[in-house]
Amino acid sequence: MNENSRIRVLPDLIVNKIAAGEVVERPASVVKELMDNAIDAGATRIALTIEDGGKQLIRVTDDGCGMRSDELLLSVTPHATSKITCEDDLYSITTMGFRGEALASISAIAKLRIVSRARGTDEGYAVEVTGEQLKSALAAGSPVGSSVEVRDLFYNIPARRKFLRTRATETGHINEQVTRSGLAFPDIAFEVRNNGRVSQNSPSCTTRLARIRGFFSEELGNALLPIEREERGIELEIYVAPPAQSRASSQWQYVFVNGRFIRDRYISHAIKEAYRGLVDPNRHGIVFLFLTINPKDVDVNVHPTKIEVRWADSNLIHSQVLSAIRETFQRSNLTAPLRTDRAAREVDPAAQDRIRREMADMFKSATPVQPAAGADRGLSSRAGSPHPDSWPAAHSASSVPSSTWRSLYETPGESTQTPGSDDSSKPFTAADRSIDEPSNGPAVQLHNLYLVGETEDGIVIIDQHALHERIVYEQLKARLITGPLEGQRLLLAESIRIQPGEWEVLEANVDLLERLGIEVTRFGQDTVAIQSIPTILKDADVADFFRDLLDFLAQQASETEPEAVLHGLLDMMACKAAVRAGDPLTKDEINALMNQRHLVDKASSCPHGRPTTLHLSKAELNRQFKRT
């Protein structure tokens, strides 16, 4: 046997680095572990400071019980914990942490410093760990509580540091972790400082619904349907949004078990089933679910990240969640309220006044100018923008045709730009007509869903939304070849409240948004104003489109191919601009849609891959009617 292949005990540093690979995936993982410790210490206020997306600095400060000097030294020792004392404790875990490996793992891949003062003592102590180097606990000035500082994450593991994402992406994950902790423990105040600026300040709340309103918006909080239920040892506190509030991403589903954020396939399936038939299959309901159960009936010791659990009775969990939400939907009025362009959304009065002042200051301070053709339309964080009077006539609302299905009547290749625009459209190349191409006979609409036409060899059945979606998608792709899409200036900017970290997502995609004709300006800490949207979406709900846009960009933060992200956005835009299932079409609209089918590539499927067309040959029809 080779001497190098003999079994040996690994050094502690290597063991800790291996453990860190499971516990610390990215900066947000460090934030989670440190916040869990602060919560277990009984903190009423937690302050988080980060720099460079957490790669350079993560500092979590709390006012919890603190540690004595001997405990401080033990805290960085592998598998040293105050959470469990015997084997039986593993089967009734009531704390957020319990494995005793987080601080030791972090110290193996970062420069760690802890300052702590125990409640009831007059002096604090500090300990520093860098790799295998441990500096003994020394006296240090400190208020009651602990401050844990992590610098240069993965400094000694270049490969791991290399695979960290952009600052905006990592900051987004950190903010998401703060949101999870804040939702689970509304009685704790949270503050986040990002690169020296306070990005989030959440005071303690008496209810979870108040925390939801503070984190998200009054509008969402007022729309939520509350559910409280206790049955068969399971206590449920759920806040669900009506189907009309559905989102493009499942990231708006927060599930907690005994205060711990989890991802669980049984609960996810129950939520999906509760919304089945009420929302589009590709959309997701907004749910905040807090489940309390006997710790002996759930195993949280499944994975070092503690985000997975095992149930003693998974079917019971599934049935309780499903019935609670479904029964609430059945007894609630789920009819979406009528919304017009002039309808005012409910917002906090103080926030409303602040937005008015900031937008008024923006218009007062702006100097009327005539933008040059092709001027930059990127994001702006300053309070300044061209005055509406200075906008070109080509961007005024009155200069845009008002036809609902405008794109149905455009000849592919003909520019859809309004007068004065310098963008042009690349002509499509007509493909050869296929055997299932409708003849000159008229097509009919069935159930406001399908178009049926006669072909030389039988009949063709077309999904009107899927086909129009493909046509719009191909048109958008062709226009992008020659330059940015035309943007439609809004006569009144639409203000939208954003979540912490979403502005960084927008900034990271400024070039992409410019190509799509989208212009966004920041107002204050948590509000943006949408100044321009793609002209093709001029009839869409601006707020809904922008929320879906944010969800999509947040999900694609790790995508390394910009073109893949771009085409994903074109998919979304085409879907929103296309005729909907259930929309009645006039004869001219039906004919226009059918006539454009052979002018685009891949007309047999929509951009999402669903078929647009079914063809039944005369031979198949004869066979079905026993004419053979």
> Domain containing 231 — which CATH number?
3.30.230.10
Report the pLDDT value the prediction gives residue 156, as an integer from 0 to 100: 87
Give every CB contact of residue 517 below 8 A, 6+ residues apart in sequence: 377, 484, 485, 486, 487, 488, 532, 533, 534, 535
The domain boundary, picked from 204, 231, 254, lies at 204
Check: CB of residue 389 under 8 Å from CB of residue 559: no
Give every CB contact of residue 12 below 8 A, 6+ residues apart in sequence: 78, 132
Determine if residue 542 is left, alpha or beta; phi over 0 gives left, psi from -120 to 50 gives alpha, anything else beta.
alpha
Q: Is 165 contained in some domain? A: yes
Q: Is 326 contained in some domain? A: yes
Amino acid at 375: A
**pTM of this structure:** 0.71
* d(C-alpha 527, C-alpha 347), whole Å: 12
Q: Which of 367, 472, 486, 360 is nearest to 418 (CA)?
A: 486
Indicate whether 219 and 190 sit together in one domain. Answer: no
Q: Which of 475, 494, 336 is nearest to 417 (CA)?
A: 475
Q: Which domain CATH number covers 74?
A: 3.30.565.10
Check: CB of residue 407 under 8 Å from CB of residue 469: no
Indicate whether 200 and 220 sit together in one domain. Answer: no
Check: CB of residue 465 under 8 Å from CB of residue 447: no
Handedness of CA 599, 600, 602, 607 (dihedral sign): negative
Check: CB of residue 556 under 8 Å from CB of residue 518: no
Indicate whether 24 and 62 sit together in one domain. Answer: yes
Indicate whether 428 and 324 sit together in one domain. Answer: no
Amino acid at 120: G
Check: CB of residue 387 under 8 Å from CB of residue 567: no
Handedness of CA 459, 464, 467, 468 (dihedral sign): positive
* d(C-alpha 225, C-alpha 241), whole Å: 6
Q: Which domain CATH number covers 582?
A: 3.30.1370.100
Indicate whether 240 and 254 sit together in one domain. Answer: yes
- The strand ranges marked E within 308-366 are 310-311
Indicate whether 589 and 450 sit together in one domain. Answer: yes
* d(C-alpha 237, C-alpha 288), whole Å: 8
Q: Counting every residue, how long is the chain?
A: 628
Indicate whether 190 and 255 sit together in one domain. Answer: no
Q: Which residue has the tokens 């954020």?
A: 261
Q: Is 153 contained in some domain? A: yes
Tokens found for residue 365: 């301070």
Handedness of CA 65, 190, 263, 208 (dihedral sign): positive
CA of residue 120 relative to chain centroid, distance: 44
Indicate whether 222 and 170 sit together in one domain. Answer: no
* d(C-alpha 219, C-alpha 204), whole Å: 20
CA of residue 20 relative to chain centroid, distance: 27
* d(C-alpha 548, C-alpha 558), whole Å: 17
Collapsed DSSP state (helix, strand, coil) of residue 77: coil
Tokens found for residue 4: 């190098």
Convert the pLDDT of each residue in 468-525 to its tens digit: 999 999 888 888 888 888 888 888 888 888 887 788 888 888 888 988 999 998 877 7
**Eight-state DSSP code of residue 597:** G
* d(C-alpha 261, C-alpha 181), whole Å: 8
Indicate whether 102 and 185 sit together in one domain. Answer: yes
Q: Is 300 contained in some domain? A: yes
* Tally of CA atoms within 13 A in the half-sphere of 498 that contains its CB: 29
The domain boundary, picked from 185, 204, 223, lies at 204
Q: What angle do CA 494, 499, 504 make, to 5 degrees?
A: 90
Tokens found for residue 614: 């079914």
* d(C-alpha 616, C-alpha 458), whole Å: 6
Indicate whether 438 and 312 sit together in one domain. Answer: no
Cβ neighbours around 307 below 10 Å, total: 15
Between strands 287-293 and 310-311, the pairing is: unpaired
Indicate whether 23 and 153 sit together in one domain. Answer: yes
Report the pLDDT value the prediction gives residue 352, as an integer from 0 to 100: 59
Count how many domains the chain has. Answer: 3
Q: Is 452 contained in some domain? A: yes
Tokens found for residue 558: 């790790």
The domain boundary, picked from 148, 173, 204, lies at 204
Report the pLDDT value the prediction gives residue 360, as an integer from 0 to 100: 59
* d(C-alpha 455, C-alpha 441), whole Å: 8
* d(C-alpha 534, C-alpha 309), whole Å: 44
Q: Which of 447, 532, 443, 547 is nearest to 492 (CA)?
A: 532
Give every CB contact of residue 217 below 8 A, 6+ residues apart in sequence: 347, 497
Q: Is 344 contained in some domain? A: no
Indicate whether 573 and 428 sit together in one domain. Answer: yes
Q: Which of 108, 87, 136, 85 is nearest to 23 (CA)?
A: 108
Low-confidence ranges of the chain (pLDDT < 70): 1-5, 10, 12-13, 15-22, 336-441, 557-561, 628
Which run of H or of E encompasses 362? helix 349-365
Report in angstroms the alpha-carbon separations of 345 from 220, 337, 339, 548.
10, 12, 9, 18
For residue 310, give its domain range.
209-330
Q: Which of 498, 521, 530, 494 is nearest to 220 (CA)?
A: 498
Cβ neighbours around 333 below 10 Å, total: 7
Q: Is 364 contained in some domain? A: no
Phi/psi for 255 (5° steps) reads: -125, 130
Report the pLDDT value the prediction gives residue 374, as an integer from 0 to 100: 40
Q: Which residue has the tokens 């061209």?
A: 386
Q: What is the dihedral of CA 593, 598, 602, 605, to 10 degrees?
A: 40
* d(C-alpha 25, C-alpha 54), whole Å: 12
* d(C-alpha 412, C-alpha 476), whole Å: 11
Report in angstroms the alpha-carbon separations of 285 from 246, 536, 572.
5, 27, 18
Q: Is 354 contained in some domain? A: no
Determine if residue 42 is left, alpha or beta; phi over 0 gives left, psi from -120 to 50 gives alpha, anything else beta.
left
